[in-house]
């Protein structure tokens, strides 16, 4: 992520997106990337989005991938 992305990111949406695609939590990676630009991710909002995304991912998987 570049400096602008780090500062303007919607951390909830980013967490949700990562989870809905079946990814592990990436907040440590984002913290490292953003730290080089003097920015810090909102880990609380990221975690909220990621947990809700995991729930949605699991629901879709349980129903054969369909909404």
61 sits in the region (left: phi over 0; alpha: psi -120 to 50; else beta) called alpha
pLDDT of residue 22: 93
pLDDT of residue 44: 97
3-state secondary structure of 19: helix
pLDDT of residue 50: 97
Instruction: Encode 27-66 in three state secondary structure.
Output: HHHHHHHHHCCCCCCCHHHHHHHHHHHHHHHHHHHHCCCC
Q: Given a cut of 60, is residue 40 above it in pLDDT?
A: yes
Model pTM score: 0.87
pLDDT class for 65, splitting at 50, 70, 90? low
Residue 53, token pair as written in the block: 């995304």
């Amino acid at each position: 992520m570049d400096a602008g992305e780090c500062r303007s990111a919607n951390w909830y949406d980013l967490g949700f997106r990562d989870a809905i695609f079946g990814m592990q939590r990436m907040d440590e990676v984002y913290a490292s990337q953003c730290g080089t630009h003097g920015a810090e991710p909102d880990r609380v909002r990221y975690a909220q989005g990621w947990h809700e995304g995991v729930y949605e991912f699991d629901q879709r998987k349980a129903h054969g991938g369909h909404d």
